[in-house]
Structure 1
Amino acid sequence: MTATTTPNSHTATGERADLLTALAKQRHFLRFTTRDLTDEQAGLRTTASALCLGGLVKHVTSVERIWADFIVDGPSAMPDFTAWTEADLARRADEFRMLPGETLAGVLAEYAEVARRTDDLVTALPDLGATQPLPKAPWFEADAEWSARRVLMHVVAETAQHAGHADIIRESLDGAKSMG
């Protein structure tokens, strides 16, 4: 594939098209696991994990938003992971579940908006090799920098990992599978 069109009709070619195609595929698998579900079903925990389908979509939306902001604004776009409070941890936990008043349609709409923004960013970036220093966090190597390319590959991998989690949760819910 040499070109793809993003939702806002920008044309990407080469490496950018490859990154957008890989991300679109993983986004599709994640969204597909929520097909034909009610809001209540989207919030159900069906495994030993605390994860639910709506919560996974919320989490992936947040992750993609933060990493896209990081590409543009650097580490200031990220939370200060070294100074997290109990309130920060509670907000993070809420990211993985459907809260009262949230709907699956609303969660999916927010994900679509973040995806459009990321796609536009990938298309418009002057240089996928431009780097930003990673914020301080126990899980990042000290003084490391990531290029926009590496960030996007990380977002693809994170989305794929959670699409797999979602598939297990959905199969536990009602036997439906994304593939097979």
Structure 2
Amino acid sequence: MTQRIASASPPFEPDIAASIDRIMRGQPPLRLFTTLARDARLFTKFFAAGLLDKGHLDIRQREIVIDRTTALCRSEYEWGVHVAVFSRAAGLNDAQILSLARGSAQDDCWTDEERLLMRMCDALHERCDIDDDLWDALRAHFSDEALLELLMLAGFYRTVSYLTNALRLPLEEHAARFPE
């Protein structure tokens, strides 16, 4: 596959370069970032919507939602970047990574709370909604603010999946690949 919209080439506008440097911490920028760097307004809007900061979720909860959402959307690009960069810090083991990509909430590797996160991602992906029973179960574990963050996180990474898939971004060299 050929990337549909070419990435911007350095030097980037100062604000964009500063954002990329802050995020990448000395590593080469991701193709997604350099593609969005073609337009300063879109680049800024994209990064303003990011939810990788300290919020109402811990890194494990956040990565379960991101990895499951991007796997359901078949965004190997984004799934692979997150698994490669964050899975160890999130404490995800090989069985859990496989389950996020190909399994279900019923897999033995999950706690009850983590099963709820998987079910939430599945429901949002399939119906763009959460039924009352699942909502009530989520409310028993998460504050209203955390629930808002979960919905925004799943929605944002669905958008990221649209971008990476539709732009046909080549997979990053260091990123994980979907399991066979």
Is TM (by shorter chain) over 0.5? Answer: no
Question: As a proportion of its length, which structure holds more strand?
Answer: 1
